[in-house]
Amino acid sequence: MADLPHLGVGLGYREPMRRDILANLGGLDFFEVVTDAYFRNPKALQALASLKTCIPHSLHCSVGSSTEPAYLEKVAGIVESLAPPWHSDHLAFTHAGNVSSGHLAPIPYTDEALDLVVQNIRRIQARIPVPFALENITMVFYWPHSTMDEHTFLSEVVRRTGCHLLLDLENVRVNTINHGLYGRGGRDFLDALPLERVAQVHIAGGQHHKGLEHDTHAAPVSAATWDLLSYLCDHVTPPGILLERDAALPPFSELLAEVQRARSIVQRVLA
Amino acid sequence: MSMEAMQVVAAKLLTDHEYRASFFDAPPNAFADHGLERAEFLVLRMLDASKLDIVSEGYVGKRWDVIGSVFPRTLDALAHFCPGARQTYLESTSTPANDTEERAAFRTFLDETIDVATDERRYLCDLAHLDGALHDHPLPAGLPEYRFRPESTKPRRAADAITLAVAGPLEHHIGLRTNTSAPRLEASSSPLPWSYSESPRNLLVLREGGSFTLELLDDNQAALLASCDGTQTVAALVQAHGTDADNRLRTWFRHRIVEDAASV
């Protein structure tokens, strides 16, 4: 990770938080911005980017099916305007043919899918000369004909493309519970990844609904996810740790406290 | 196996409850009906239909969340005029490819589909127009920086200044003190009798901090704003448009309608 700057601990920028964020800039090290929200007006980010580093995070590169050139151009425009140390999207598909999946959908972990993902990431890297980080998602289902594990798949993508990882620890927690995929509460999953390639970490809180865990970003970070962050930081110091909160917004002081808790974990390990 | 064919079906399973039911109820030899080979069909039939139901519910909720994040005032008004709008919208529209298409689908829904009176439809469409503009043009961070020197300040229309062409008197129906208020309707009673006559006009959105007001952009103001191209000083503009232009330009600077081309 020597090639990436260490940004510290940040917050996912959302417009409803704007006033609180601007009033508490000192407590936040960087922001992540969802590119798709600014395609119509990329200039809206300029003022924010003049205050703190903004990491572009896109939603629909759909590396698991086809990365559309027109979409990639829009992302490239945002990335170029922000000049971030990296940008990111998900290991997922959001459309297949002309059909939308409505959200980030999982892909099968097969050789065919691996070739496709590698091809799409190389296309992104060729168009946007800024390090790209790939995020693990919450798997709403697990493809029964997968021939390898998620961590094997991710590791191979990283090896073949040289991309980085955006490690979403809440998604690890959710997948651990919903699918029983990873041992030791997700720690086995972390152990199997090339952690030196982690550019950024996501932490968030989810909710339990009808027997399943959901990555809603609408609750405080759970104890299990804090544990995963501590475990991760025992092994590496991620260049960026980011708190995501999209709904059921609490008093901003609570979000700042979570940011500070993450910062304390990193500092404890460094000390 | 065709990855794309399987993903197409998986996408439909996640977003279309009728398709989902038909897929899992279909006989084992119905694979061709779904564009799949037999092996592909069998793999997808191994998925847990009940879990897909739960996940799909979440997707539907997120669709409405997207709309609420862009059109908060419109949804407030919809709650008055058409309490069942959420369900009607989600049932009458397919899952769009992205948030941009979701927004477009919602605007079309207001314009063509929703069952409301003509005045109400006109009002909702104007309100959605306002919501979309406010969402797309958030105020830049910090206070506006300018020095108002009539002889050297050169007003130029700011990139995020919002003017709206609306169909009715929206400025009379929107909360004046906060950007989160619903339209001026009586919450406890039917909004009727109520009118929102067809009366096309141009409005200027004056924002400050977290609030905004809507101001009628009459011909004189429109001409003044059009002249704010960064080439003329305040003094020159006042000379051309009259003494009222001085106060007008001071207001516009404060509300970021214009910026000083001489210093920015």
Chain A residues near residue B3 by CB distance under 8 angstroms: 65, 108, 110, 112-113, 116
Q: Do A105 and B7 touch (CB under 8 A)?
A: yes
Chain A residues near residue B63 by CB distance under 8 angstroms: 102
Chain B residues near residue A43 by CB distance under 8 angstroms: 159-160
Amino acid making up residue B264:
V
The whole-number pLDDT of residue B262 equals: 81
Q: Do B14 and A140 touch (CB under 8 A)?
A: yes
Q: Do B4 and A97 touch (CB under 8 A)?
A: yes
Query: Residue A2 pLDDT > 60, yes or no?
Result: no
Rounded alpha-carbon distances, angstroms, from residue A239 to A1, A143, A172, B199: 8, 32, 19, 56
Query: Residue B64 pLDDT > 60, yes or no?
Result: yes
**Residue A267 Cα, gap to closest chain B Cα (Å):** 30
The pLDDT-based confidence of B129 (bands split at 50, 70, 90) is very high
Query: Residue B67 pLDDT > 60, yes or no?
Result: yes
Task: Report which of A265, A183, A196, A260 is spatially closest to residue A231, judged by C-alpha positions.
Answer: A265
Q: Do B43 and A144 touch (CB under 8 A)?
A: yes
pTM of the model: 0.78
Q: Tell me what the pLDDT averaged over chain B comes to.
A: 86
**Residue B106 Cα, gap to closest chain A Cα (Å):** 15
Cα gap B84→B73, rounded to integer Å: 16
The whole-number pLDDT of residue B56 equals: 82
Q: Best mutation site among B42, B55, B99 for testing chain A: the one with the most A CBs within 10 Å? A: B55
The whole-number pLDDT of residue A210 equals: 78
Q: What is the DSSP letter of B171?
A: G
The whole-number pLDDT of residue B264 equals: 57
Cα gap A88→A90, rounded to integer Å: 7
**Over the stretch B141-200, which tens digit does the pLDDT of each residue have?**
666 667 788 999 999 999 889 999 999 999 887 753 333 333 433 333 344 456 888 999
**Residue B239 Cα, gap to closest chain A Cα (Å):** 33
Inter-chain CB pairs, A–B, below 8 Å? 119
Chain B residue with Cα closest to A102? B95
**Residue A208 Cα, gap to closest chain B Cα (Å):** 11
With beta carbons less than 8 A apart as the criterion, state whether B62 and A214 touch: no
Unique residue bearing structure tokens 């952009």: B217
Q: Do A102 and B95 touch (CB under 8 A)?
A: yes
For residues B232-249, average pLDDT: 95
Chain A residues near residue B142 by CB distance under 8 angstroms: 22, 47
Tell which wins on pLDDT, A104 or B91. A104
Q: Tell me what the pLDDT averaged over chain A comes to.
A: 93
The pLDDT-based confidence of A34 (bands split at 50, 70, 90) is very high
- Among partner residues A22, A43, A210, which is closest to B54 by beta-carbon distance? A210
Query: Residue B28 pLDDT > 90, yes or no?
Result: no
Q: Do B99 and A37 touch (CB under 8 A)?
A: yes
- Among partner residues B3, B99, B159, which is closest to A112 by beta-carbon distance? B3
Q: What is the DSSP letter of B229?
A: B
Q: Is the dihedral of CA A246, B104, B56, A93 positive or negative?
A: negative
The whole-number pLDDT of residue B180 equals: 38
**Over the stretch A87-130, which tens digit does the pLDDT of each residue have?**
999 999 999 988 988 889 999 999 999 999 999 999 999 999 99
Chain B residue with Cα closest to A65? B4
Chain A residue with Cα closest to B12? A101
- Among partner residues A15, A99, A141, which is closest to B52 by beta-carbon distance? A141
Chain B residue with Cα closest to A210? B54
For residues B104-128, average pLDDT: 93
**Residue B203 Cα, gap to closest chain A Cα (Å):** 20
Cα gap A187→B111, rounded to integer Å: 52
Q: Do A116 and B3 touch (CB under 8 A)?
A: yes
A244-248, A267-271, B241-245: range with highest mean pLDDT: B241-245
Q: Best mutation site among B2, B6, B7, B107 for testing chain A: the one with the most A CBs within 10 Å? A: B7
**Residue A125 Cα, gap to closest chain B Cα (Å):** 22
The whole-number pLDDT of residue A195 equals: 97
Query: Residue B57 pLDDT > 90, yes or no?
Result: no
Rounded alpha-carbon distances, angstroms, from residue A75 to A67, A69, A198: 11, 10, 21
The whole-number pLDDT of residue B141 equals: 64
**Over the stretch A206-221, which tens digit does the pLDDT of each residue have?**
888 778 888 888 899 9
Chain A residue with Cα closest to B64? A102
**Residue B114 Cα, gap to closest chain A Cα (Å):** 23
Chain A residues near residue B23 by CB distance under 8 angstroms: none
For residues B69-85, average pLDDT: 89
A21-25, A45-49, A166-170, B185-189: range with highest mean pLDDT: A166-170
The whole-number pLDDT of residue A41 equals: 78
Q: Do A51 and B141 touch (CB under 8 A)?
A: yes
Show the 3-state SS of chain A.
CCCCCCCEEEEECCHHHHHHHHHCHHHCCEEEEEHHHHCCCHHHHHHHHHHCEEEEECCCCCCCCCCCHHHHHHHHHHHHHHCCCCEEEECCEEEECCEEEEEEECCCCCHHHHHHHHHHHHHHHHHCCCCEEEECCCCCCCCCCCCCCHHHHHHHHHHHHCCEEEEEHHHHHHHHHHHCCCCHHHHHHHHCCCHHHEEEEEECCCEEECCEEECCCCCCCCHHHHHHHHHHHHHCCCCEEEECCCCCCCCHHHHHHHHHHHHHHHHHHHC
Looking only at the bridges linking them, the beta strands covering A30-34 and A53-57 are: parallel
